[in-house]
Amino acid sequence: MNKDCQKMRDKMASHLFGALSRRDEDALTQHIAGCSECRKHMQALGDEQSLLRECAEKVDAGMGPREERMLEAVKRFNPRESTERIMPRRTIVPVRIAKLAVAATLLIAAGYFAGRFLAPPPVDIERLQAALEPIIRQSVAEQMSRDRDRALERHAVRLKKELARQLHDALNEFAAGTLAASRAATEQRLAELIRLIEAARTVDHYQVAVAFERIESNRLQDKTRFGEGLVRLTSHRNEMPGNKQ
């Protein structure tokens, strides 16, 4: 393949889409006539184009059913449901599940092999026990001490609360007694006061009645004296010389 062939092969693709000038078309036709390789290439490109067209026709022939399926989906579509739930017949979910499964398998396998090959040799139990015993003893003692302190603390708190409660109750009781005694004394004093007031009022009434009686008797005496006076005055007048008839 020479330089001309390379150029012509570039033009062949344009030829397929009808994008060559008349001059280039003539040049291509002339070249193909004399070059079997390029003729084969041109033939292959033509075959591929035919194949693409046939494939497109087949796909186009399936457009009717596809449209029907789409229209059916449009009819059935409920806007309240999310798009993701309605749609894909093929979703990413299985891939995710598979991905998780692969990850889980890899983790298990890694754990198994790590345990098998990287685990430390078995330890001497007695030595381990001897080494751990004082630590465990100390830890247990510390734990017991902590527990005891906590229990004492809890007990002290409980006692404190109980004492406070008892004091509160006693104070309440004392206050209630004092209040009752105070109320009785007050009532007694009030009753005595009322009695005294009543006695005073009775005495006042008596004195007022006596006063009224005196006034009445005085008034009667005055009236009698006034009548006697008038009689005396009348007799005096009659006895006067100028008044004799």
**Residues making contact with other proteins (CB under 8 A):** 10, 13-14, 16-17, 19, 40, 43-45, 47-49, 51-56, 58-63, 66-67, 69-71, 73-75, 77, 79, 83, 86-90, 92, 94-96, 98-99, 102
Residue whose C-alpha is closest to residue 20's, from 49, 43, 29? 29
Q: How far is the CB of 70 from other proteins (least distance, A)?
A: 5
d(CA 118, CA 137): 32
CB of 133 to other proteins, least distance (A): 51
Separation CA 106–CA 99 (nearest Å): 11
Output the smallest distance, CB 8 to other proteins, in A: 13
Kindly state the tokens that stand for 76.
Answer: 């059935």
State in angstroms the smallest separation of the CB of 6 from other proteins: 12
Q: What are phi and psi of 95, to 5 degrees?
A: -65, -40
Residue closer to other proteins (CB basis): 67 or 173? 67
Largest CA distance in the chain: 206
Give the 3-state secondary structure of 24-38: HHHHHHHHHHHCHHH
Instruction: Please identify, using beta-carbon distances, which residue of 106 and 194 lies nearer to other proteins.
Output: 106
Nearer to other proteins, 53 or 137 (CB): 53
By beta-carbon proximity to other proteins, the closer residue of 98 and 136 is 98
Nearer to other proteins, 18 or 242 (CB): 18
- CB of residue 20 vs other proteins: minimum separation in angstroms? 10
C-beta contacts of 180-189 below 8 A and 24+ residues apart: none
Q: How far is the CB of 2 from other proteins (least distance, A)?
A: 18
Q: Name the CA dihedral angle for 207, 211, 213, 219, rounded to a multiple of 10 degrees.
A: 180
Nearer to other proteins, 89 or 116 (CB): 89
How far is residue 41's CA from residue 9's CA, in Å, rounded to a whole number?
Answer: 8
